[in-house]
Structure 1
């Protein structure tokens, strides 16, 4: 890919993908299957966006690494069965189409695997509207490192990030990118210091234009 004039990097869960529509039920099913307390929808949603070394101990209190690996494998198996329930946030497709028509290169940077990102984007009908994906690769420890790798690979002239959690905001700050905070996502309280805040996906295009030229 040629050097992008302007790159917009999206988080996935809670930003483009309404993760709770199918993921909460899967975690509750697997928690019960593994003999752990079945946690509330609110608590499970509070772990979305965390790296695995943080969310797995939260979902499986007192578990060891083997149990956590088996848990993740079982979640992946059920994800394939439940992906038909997955939904994009309203207005996401139209927003991405508008950005690309205006010359933006679109990317997803997520604390997830390539398999998960690709499967979800296809399930929610956005796979053809995302130009690049950056998973949390094995040698990376955080989203800011992952974002740094994406930026090093693409070398955009201008870039910004869109997300809904403190992990997204921190990644943007550590990479010196402007940040758009999604108040419709999982952690609106963490978006207080975002450069722009949006109430829905349809507002992202205008916010991105403002930040690019501010």
Structure 2
């Protein structure tokens, strides 16, 4: 029987705020925008286009390309020294692999960015399947395609945002909500809510 655990990245595996807040503040300062830390954190986990819509409404093509380049450059520099997973994440992933679970990523980012983040936080080796925006327009479609690709018999989703739980529900799989992430109020209807990453293994065993 194929059993898979599908993970969001930002706010679930990755302590994104350690570098992303400053990266966004630097890019915004170049444009004479001043947006507070909490507003930036509220964007973590959104798709690139949704972040632009929230911060600017819209950008012309040239402005959009420059914005994306600035964010990539600032994050790349800051990630080298600051990128970290949440406490207990690596031990949990290792335990799940040891128990025979397949591990997959489902993210609102593109594949190149996902690989860079997983490399920076030292977790690439645990994931055999990456579900990114290269597979679909949103996480609902990404999970559906991951299901076809892996042929799992049972699976569950682990995440920290409302669109994670919506994607799990739309695909008929249980959801583990990470209260330690960036939007704990959004995941209180999860099948299981965990307060720290070390609790994920037990939640997975309970659900699948």
Regarding TM over 0.5, the answer is yes
Aligned equivalent of 1:6: 3
Residue by residue, what CA displacement relative to the aligned partner does 1:131-166 show, whole Å, maximum 9, x if unpaired? 2111111x7221111111111111101100000000
Aligned equivalent of 1:184: 180
Contact 1:160 1:178 (C-alpha < 8 Å) held by counterparts:
yes
Question: C-alpha distance in 1, partners of 2:58/2:33?
Answer: 11
SS in structure 1 at match of 2:90: helix
Contact 1:27 1:75 (C-alpha < 8 Å) held by counterparts:
yes
Contact 1:60 1:68 (C-alpha < 8 Å) held by counterparts:
no
Question: C-alpha distance in 2, partners of 1:28/1:19?
Answer: 14
Aligned equivalent of 2:91: 94
Aligned with 1:46 (options 36, 42, 45): 42
Q: How far has the Cα of 1:68 moved from its partner?
A: 2.1
Aligned equivalent of 1:211: 207
Q: How far has the Cα of 1:61 moved from its partner?
A: 4.3
Could you say what the CA RMSD is over the residues aligned between the two structures, in angstroms? 1.3
- Structural mapping, 1:68-147, within 5 Å: 68-84=64-80, 85-137=82-134, 140-147=136-143
Question: C-alpha distance in 2, partners of 1:36/1:166?
Answer: 31
Aligned equivalent of 1:18: 15
Report how many residues are paired: 207
Contact 1:36 1:60 (C-alpha < 8 Å) held by counterparts:
no
Contact 1:111 1:142 (C-alpha < 8 Å) held by counterparts:
yes
Question: C-alpha distance in 2, partners of 1:110/1:198?
Answer: 20
Structure 2 unaligned runs (5+)?
Answer: none
- Structural mapping, 1:51-70, within 5 Å: 51-61=47-57, 63-70=59-66
| More moved, 71-80 vs 53-62 | 53-62
Q: How far has the Cα of 1:192 moved from its partner?
A: 1.5
Question: C-alpha distance in 2, partners of 1:140/1:121?
Answer: 20
Aligned equivalent of 1:197: 193
Aligned with 2:168 (options 153, 172, 177): 172
Contact 1:161 1:180 (C-alpha < 8 Å) held by counterparts:
yes
Contact 1:83 1:123 (C-alpha < 8 Å) held by counterparts:
yes
SS in structure 1 at match of 2:189: coil
Structure 1 unaligned runs (5+)?
Answer: none
